[in-house]
Structure 1
Amino acid sequence: MIALDDMDRAILRALEADATLSAGALGRRLGLSQPACWRRIRRLEEEGVIAGRRLVLDHAAAGFGVTVFLGVKLATKGRVSLEDFERAVTAIPEVQVVQHVLGLFDYRLKVRARDIADFERVLRRRIMTLPGLGQVEANVLLSEERLPGPLG
């Protein structure tokens, strides 16, 4: 873990808001030269603080209007390895996130579908056939608010 100063945090906040900012534009915004800003960004990338940059999609506009969170409990952990379950579930394109969690469920899945009928198809044909699957609980996302991260 590296020590972050105020300028590092300002860079991270700015890139979190708009990852397309060039080092020159970011430097002008923060009062740094382009080379100094570029060196800081590169150091943050090399140290793993910046792990990558992503495109944020409007899933509803792209035709995927339903998001469902599934709590999944494996039937018997001894019969099917966690790796077998994870390999099978990550092969399902509609499953966007797979989280191994501690608590009532073993896994939490984020599933995107075009509509409820599409989700039902994915659930019946793909998810319910996963190896070792036990209990499944679904929660349909009604709305989502983006909150500032820990640096915001």
Structure 2
Amino acid sequence: MLDDIDRRILRHFQADPSLSTADLADLCRITSGVCWRRIEKMQATGIIQGQEAVIDWAILGYAVEVSLRVTLDKTQARAFDEFTAAARQVAEVIEIQTFLGRVDVRLSVIARDMAHYQQLYRDRILTLPHIADIEALMHIARVKSAEGLPL
């Protein structure tokens, strides 16, 4: 399990993943060697799974974000697997989540504009296999977006 030093490392690393090991060690009041070994251990155990660049899709010209709630035809044994495999092939699908309940899958889809979204919806989304029902929710604003854990 994590001790106070590990939590301190994660808290600072989460806040600024670009910190060097030396800077992270200074913030955590430990040596660089200790910091490096603890980070290596947390990577080896899967606690730290990597670092990502957070990209603002709107600045790159993707002004439309839609959340699609999909109910699948569950009479088909491989509906989940075939649907998610096909959805992964759509570049504009940036997130796929599965659920238990009335809604089976949620797709986050980005598009340059409404015309692009309509084309994408007709040509790529509606052709995905095993869709029984689909509901589109237009994204208006992101009120909170936090990946960090309260450590």
What TM-score comes out, normalization by structure 1 length? 0.91
CA contact (8 A) 1:113 1:119 kept: yes
Query: CA offset at residue 116 of structure 1?
Result: 1.9
Give the 3 Å change call, closer, same or farther, for CA 107–77 of structure 1 in structure 2: farther
After superposition, the Cα gap between the structure-2 partners of 1:70 and 1:45, relative to the gap in structure 1 and judged at 3 Å, is same
Q: Is the 8 A contact 1:80 1:131 kept in 2?
A: no
Q: What residue in structure 1 maps to residue 138 of structure 2?
A: 140
Contact 1:97–1:111 under 8 Å retained in 2 = yes
Q: Which runs of 4+ in 1 moved over 4 A?
A: none
Residue 103 of structure 1 deviates from its aligned partner by 1.7
Structure 1 position 55, deviation (Å): 0.3
Residue 131 of structure 1, aligned match among 129, 132, 137: 129
Uncovered stretches (5+) of structure 1, i.e. residues with no partner: none
Assess, with a 3 A threshold, how the Cα gap between structure 1 residues 81 and 35 changes in structure 2: closer, same or farther: same
Count matched residues: 150
Residue identity opposite 2:46 in structure 1: G
- C-alpha separation between the residues in 2 aligned to 1:124 and 1:45? 42
| CA distance, structure 2, for counterparts of residue 51 and residue 77 of structure 1 | 36
Shift of residue 92, structure 1, vs aligned partner: 0.4
Segment of structure 1 superposing worse, 48-57 or 17-26: 17-26
Which residue matches 2:90? 92
State the alpha-carbon separation in 2 of the partners of residues 83 and 148 from structure 1.
27
Q: Which residue identity does 2:73 align to in structure 1?
A: A
> Which residue number corresponds to residue 11 of structure 2?
13
Give deviations 1:76-122, integer Å, cap 9, x for gaps: 44265322111111100000111111122110111111122211111
Bigger CA drift: 135-144 or 44-53? Answer: 135-144
CA displacement at 1:124 relative to structure 2: 0.7
One-letter amino acid matched to 1:150: L
C-alpha deviation, 1:151, in angstroms = 2.2
Please give the secondary structure, in 1, of the residue aligned with 2:69. Answer: strand
Counting only pairs closer than 5 Å after superposition, residues 21-100 of structure 1 correspond to structure 2 as: 21-78=19-76, 80-100=78-98
Q: Name the Cα RMSD after superposition.
A: 1.6
The TM-score with structure 2 as length reference comes to 0.91
